[in-house]
Every structure is written in C-alpha cells, then in structure tokens.
Amino acid sequence: MAFYVTTPIYYVNAEPHLGHAYTTIAADVLARHMRQRGEEVFFLTGTDEHGEPVTQAAEKLGITPRELGDRNAVHFRELAAKVNATNDFFIRTTDPEHEAVVAEVVTRIHDNGHVYEGTYEGWYCPRCADFKTDSELVDGNKCPIHLIVLEREKEDNWFFRLSAFQEPLERLYTERSDFVVPEIRFNEALSFIKGGLRDLSLSRARLKWGVPVPWDGSQVIYVWIDALLNYYSALSYARHGEDLTGRFWPASVHLIGKDILKFHAVIWPALLMAAEIDVPERVGIHGYLLMGEHKMSKSLGNVIDPFQVVDVYGEDALRFYVLREVRFGHDGEVSPEGFEQRYTSELANEYGNLASRTLAMIGRYRDGLVPKAEAATDLAVHFDGLAEQVCAELDRVELTLALDAVWQRVKRLNAYVQDEQPWKLAKDAGGAEQLDSVLYGLAEGLRVVSVLLLPYMPAAAERLLAALGAGERSLDSARFGAVGGGARIGEPGQLFPRVEPPEASAA
Ligand code: MSP
C-alpha cells in the first residue's frame, strides 16, 4: 500500500516560525508511523514562491522575488531538517518542472471548457492573495486574518468556473464523510459550498511574478492555483527519471492549518475534477498555535523560534510539546513556560526517569539481563489493543489523542514502579520471582511505548530501544509480550537532561 502525505508549501516572504514547524512535524509523525506499518510512504513539503505576498516582501527589501525565494527557501529546508523531518522531496514552485505541470493542467482545465474571460471587482488582501466578501471583513474594511485595511480592486482576468462544481462537490461530501477531518471543518467546508460558489480568478493581470497563462502571455496564473498544484506536480519529477504519480496519487492526506481550508477543501477538489484528476483521500486540518490570545505570526511579532528551542532542548522535545500541549485540530496556547513544564514533568521525569531507573535496576539486580519471566496480567492488560488504538487515531489524524493513549501507559508504568517498589523486593530473599516479573514487565512496557513513540520522538525512543536491546521497530512489535526476556541492556545516557532555559526565551 502507498501513503502520500503533504504539508502546505510555505510562503517565502517571511522566515519560518513554530507555526510552520508544526505542520511539518505532524506530517512527519504520520509518515514515520505509516512506515512502521509497512506502507510505502512519500512525504512532501516545500515553498510557495510566486505571487503578490512574495513580490511585496521582496520589493521592501530591494531584491527580486527570485532572490528572496532563494534566500528563504534555504531556511524552510533547514527547518525541516532541524525538526528531523523525513520528507522525501522539497518542492519549490519556481522549479521549472513544477511550472510545466501547472501550464499543462490549467490548459486541460481550459480545454475542458471550465475557463472564461471576465472582470472581477472586490476587496483584495495582498497578504492572503485572496478576495474577501463583504461579510468576511472586520472593522469596516479590514482583512479578518491580517487586520490590514483592504482596497477595492478591479481586474480583467481569466476565470475558473468554480460555480459549476457545486453539485459535484456536494456529492463528494455526501459520499465521503471523512474527506475533511475533524468534523467541525468538514461541516464548515460543506456549508461554504452550500452557501453558493462564485467563480474564481484563475489569473492575475497586474502581476509579473508567476507562471504565464499558456494561452495569454500577458497574465500569470493565480498563485493559489499554482501552489495547490504542487501536490500533484511533485510526484512527476521528485525522483529522477521516474514518475511516481501512478504509485502515490491521489494523496492520502493533505495536512493544513484552518486558515487555508477553503482552498484545500473546496477549490482544490474542484480544480482536480475540472482537470479529470482524482481528488485526494483526505484533508486534515489543524488549529492555530496561539501565544496569548493571538495566532503566532511573524507579522504580529509573537513567535517562538523553533531553531532556538531545538538547539537548547533537542528536536524530540519540540515535536512532543506541540503535539501534546494543543489538541491537534484545535487552537491552543503555547508558551516557553508551558514548554519547560512539560519538558521537566513528562519527558525528563515520567519517561526519562522511568527509563533510567528501570535500566539501573536491571543492571544492579539482574546483571544487565532483562529477566525471562511472565509479566503480571494486571499490568499487561493495560496494553491490550493499544497499537490498534494508535493506528485508529492516526488514521483520523488525531495526533494528540494517539499520543495521549501512549502516554497514559507511560504514567501507568510509573504507577507500577510505585506500587511494586522493586528496591524492596530486591532486599527480600523470597521476592526474587516477583522482582523478575516486575523488571520484565517494566522493560517490556517501556519497549512497547517506545516503539509507539518513535514517530513522535524518533531520537530518544530509538536510543531507549537500543538500550533495551530491542531489535524490531515495526508496529507489529508494539504488542506487550511480543518480546520475551533475555536481552542485554545498554546505556542510553540521559534522554532528557536538565537544561538551563536560555536568557532570551525567559525574557
Ligand atoms: N503558501 C500558502 C499555502 C499554500 S499550500 C498549497 C500558505 N503559506 S503560509 O506559510 O502562510 O502558511 C502555511 C501553513 O502554516 C498554514 O497551514 C498555516 O495555517 C500554518 N501556520 C502559520 N502560522 C500558524 C500558527 N501560528 N499556528 C498553526 N499553524 C499556522 O498559507
């Protein structure tokens, strides 16, 4: 089976921040998890480099949009590596191969009769690269997302007959109740469709920075249509000399933030239908990471720098934090204080200490060999169905619920140590058999949770699995009791050492 997961492609008009790292981390968790399930995975991320937001930002800096793209694409590529993302390709919409596919697909949409010439007038936000309806405006005539005053714009454009796809889209939503998850976003997209669809500009006349309209060199393709097509174009040239489209299209899941729902859940499937290309299987929507009450964004100046957090705490801690603190799919607040709190109480204490205590006791009491013993049924029972539960949650893009299911078992193992007090058993000559069972149960429990945590915290979980002498990483091996005792343990070092918070983030 093939699994194809994507992130949005990020605008190169700004430097990356934690909001961008968030989607990349989430997509990486799904990619790693599906590889553990034995699927053939393709994971795509990249940068969105055409259009007005990039042109305007470049103008401000006195450089060309291409120079700005070259400069900032590097940082987004670095961010993916920094959070340990295993993307198979990094697409840039300035890649000539991508531009060729855009020209080809819009030509097909044109030839299929879904494009006409017309005039558009409306409120335009250059930062969204999108027109706004009267009802969307806030404070008179401001963009609801960027809170900047909008101008009324009038343009002669080529139009995409989006309105003609109202019925096919409604049918799609009726037939596939999980086309968009979570449900609240499904309902939002469907009511947008039912509210009536207006045709959409397919091109821009005033802009120069984009893919030329194949049949009209005076205009460029609207940046959103160019950008959405990245998901499809990438497969045709990501691997040299090979076209992966047949293997991986349609995409299994597009992960995106809620601000770009309409583009992915309405416009994108309509464009694909118009071009007679299969629509994706699912669109998974996440909420905003907030600081204070506001969406974290460079323009509002309230950002956590993911590069700095990773330098100080490591990428596993950042990956864990963003997916644990805010329920995926919902909005939620993040803060340096909240981060440090979870780092200490959950990563260092609940997981790190549990691991080091367990390994130390096996070293001290059993000469470094995991005892060959039976685990207590009342411990084993807590792991029944866990791997299946994680799979089911991740299939619904519930990344936080899946992580929580695993973490409840981490807490359970901690409670088990407290209940059994193995250090007391070790002093009691009659407690040897019980101690064997407790130590085996702890090692096996730690092994199972670590296999399931690999997608979330790949480096730390891998170090612990190696120290437990565990060979298997597949999801099949995440069953309690799948591995018996006998392994020789090693030394993982401190998984989450104490760190001094950096001055800058404390300020
Ligand atoms: N270029 C378009 C996407 C084109 S996809 C065909 C774009 N780029 S973006 O860089 O502005 O945003 C990319 C993603 O980052 C969006 O999904 C957005 O929701 C997400 N985030 C940016 N800031 C965010 C937070 N503070 N919190 C969570 N995600 C947010 O839109």
Q: Kindly give the interhelix angle for 399-420 and 315-325, rounded to the nearest 10 degrees.
A: 100
Q: What is the pLDDT of residue 362?
A: 98
Q: In which element (H, E) is residue 159 found?
A: strand 151-160
Does residue 391 carry a catalytic annotation? Answer: no
The SS3 assignment for 216 reads: strand
Instruction: Provide the 10 A C-beta neighbour count for residue 497.
Output: 10
Mean pLDDT of 50-63: 93
Does residue 128 carry a catalytic annotation? Answer: yes
Q: Atom of ligand 1 at shortest distance to CA of 259?
A: 19
Q: Which of 317, 321, 476, 330 is nearest to 391 (CA)?
A: 476
Query: What spacing in Å lies between the alpha carbon of 257 and ligand 1's midpoint?
Result: 6
- Angle, CA of 447, 324 and 16, to the nearest 5°: 115
Q: Is the pLDDT of residue 20 over 90?
A: yes
Q: What is the pLDDT of residue 299?
A: 62
Q: Atom of ligand 1 at shortest distance to CA of 264?
A: 6
Residue-wise pLDDT tens digits, 150-164:
989 888 899 999 999
Residue-wise pLDDT tens digits, 304-335:
889 999 999 999 999 999 999 999 999 999 99
- Angle, CA of 305, 52 and 230, to the nearest 5°: 75
Does residue 125 carry a catalytic annotation? Answer: yes
Q: In which element (H, E) is residue 498 found?
A: none
Mean pLDDT of 38-47: 98
Mean pLDDT of the chain: 95
Residue with tokens 């644990």: 324
Is the sign of the CA dihedral 92, 95, 97, 103 positive or negative? positive
Q: Which of 17, 50, 132, 264 is catalytic?
A: 17
Smallest CA separation from ligand 1 atom 19, residue: 257
Percent of the chain with pLDDT over 70: 97
Residue with tokens 């454009």: 157
Give residues with Cβ within 8 angstroms of 504, minimum separation 6: 308
Residue with tokens 């997209």: 189
- Angle, CA of 143, 145 and 146, to the nearest 5°: 70
Q: In which element (H, E) is residue 21 found?
A: helix 18-36
Mean pLDDT of 228-250: 98
Q: Which of 110, 132, 264, 295 is catalytic?
A: 295
Query: What spacing in Å lies between the alpha carbon of 199 and ligand 1's midpoint?
Result: 24
195, 63 contact by CB (below 8 A): no
Does residue 286 carry a catalytic annotation? Answer: no
Q: What is the pLDDT of residue 507?
A: 36
Smallest CA separation from ligand 1 atom 29, residue: 19
The two structure tokens encoding residue 341: 């709190």
- From 260, 268, 295, give the residue whose CB has the most ligand 1 atoms within 8 Å, as the site to mutate: 260
245, 237 contact by CB (below 8 A): no
Backbone angles phi, psi at 42, to 5 degrees: -125, 130
According to DSSP, the residues that pair with 332 across neighbouring strands are: 289
Please give the single-letter amino acid code of residue 356: S
Query: What spacing in Å lies between the alpha carbon of 115 and ligand 1's midpoint?
Result: 28
Helix spans in 343-398 (H): 354-366, 377-380, 386-395
Smallest CA separation from ligand 1 atom 12, residue: 10
- From 288, 293, 323, 333, give the residue whose CB has the most ligand 1 atoms within 8 Å, as the site to mutate: 288
Q: Atom of ligand 1 at shortest distance to CA of 227?
A: 6
- Count, in order, helices (H) and strands (E) of the chain: 22, 16
Residue, of 500 and 201, whose pLDDT is higher: 201
Q: Which of 75, 146, 262, 382 is catalytic?
A: 146
Residue with tokens 């090693």: 490
The SS3 assignment for 406 reads: helix
Cα of 482 vs its chain's centroid, Å:
30
Q: Atom of ligand 1 at shortest distance to CA of 231?
A: 6
- From 11, 17, 298, give the residue whose CB has the most ligand 1 atoms within 8 Å, as the site to mutate: 11
Q: What is the pLDDT of residue 506?
A: 40
Residue-wise pLDDT tens digits, 262-312:
999 999 999 999 999 999 999 999 999 998 777 766 666 667 889 999 999
Residue-wise pLDDT tens digits, 173-185:
999 999 999 999 9
Q: Atom of ligand 1 at shortest distance to CA of 10?
A: 10
Smallest CA separation from ligand 1 atom 30, residue: 19
Residue-wise pLDDT tens digits, 360-412:
999 999 999 999 999 999 999 999 999 999 999 999 999 999 999 999 999 99
- From 5, 7, 20, give the residue whose CB has the most ligand 1 atoms within 8 Å, as the site to mutate: 20
Smallest CA separation from ligand 1 atom 9, residue: 10
Q: Is the pLDDT of residue 453 over 60?
A: yes
Smallest CA separation from ligand 1 atom 8, residue: 10
Q: Which of 125, 132, 264, 286 is catalytic?
A: 125
Query: What spacing in Å lies between the alpha carbon of 429 and ligand 1's midpoint?
Result: 61
The two structure tokens encoding residue 209: 């920075």
Q: Atom of ligand 1 at shortest distance to CA of 258?
A: 19
81, 28 contact by CB (below 8 A): no
Q: Which of 98, 110, 114, 143 is catalytic?
A: 143
* Residues contacting ligand 1 via CB (< 6 Å): 8-11, 19-20, 22-23, 48, 227-228, 230, 256-257, 259-260, 288-289, 295-297
323, 403 contact by CB (below 8 A): yes
Backbone angles phi, psi at 220, to 5 degrees: -115, 155
Residue 207 pLDDT class (50, 70, 90 cuts)? confident
Three-state SS string over 119-173 comes to: EEEEEEECCCCEEECHHHCECCCECCCCCCECEEEEEEEEEECHHHHHHHHHHHH
pTM for this predicted structure: 0.94
- From 259, 298, 325, give the residue whose CB has the most ligand 1 atoms within 8 Å, as the site to mutate: 259
Q: Atom of ligand 1 at shortest distance to CA of 14?
A: 10
Which stretches does DSSP call E strand in 316-377?
332-333
Smallest CA separation from ligand 1 atom 21, residue: 19
Q: In which element (H, E) is residue 276 found?
A: none
Q: Is the pLDDT of residue 28 over 70?
A: yes
Smallest CA separation from ligand 1 atom 15, residue: 20
